Structure 1
Amino acid sequence: MLRYAVIFFIIALIAALFGFTGIAAGATEIAKILFFVFIIIAVVTFVLNMLKR
């Protein structure tokens, strides 16, 4: 999940560099969503693993 967030962030940077602001904005939003989903899943997994012990 984090890998895809980084890939979309790189796509956004490259699109912004070439002036494709619409594509860059879209890729940035997707990267943000994927990053926050990754954080939520990581925290839930961490908490569940702590409760098992």
Structure 2
Amino acid sequence: MADVSNAGGMRVLEPHAGQNTNSNDPEEIGERLRKEIQKTKQLTNKPFGVNHNLVRIV
């Protein structure tokens, strides 16, 4: 991810990026995505995208 951004390209993090297992728990998915965002920010200061869904839980 960071290598593409550092080279001038644009990639997008997905909710299950870097994971070997999927989760249906929104809090766990959010925490995993937060960790991947932090990891990517440590590796590059260039822009990158994040794909996320906003779901209203009733």
TM-score (normalizing by structure 1):
0.44
Structure with more relative contact order (C-alpha pairs < 8 Å, separation 6 or more): 2
Larger helix share, 1 or 2: 1
Whose Rg is larger? 1
TM-score (normalizing by structure 2):
0.40
Larger strand share, 1 or 2: 2
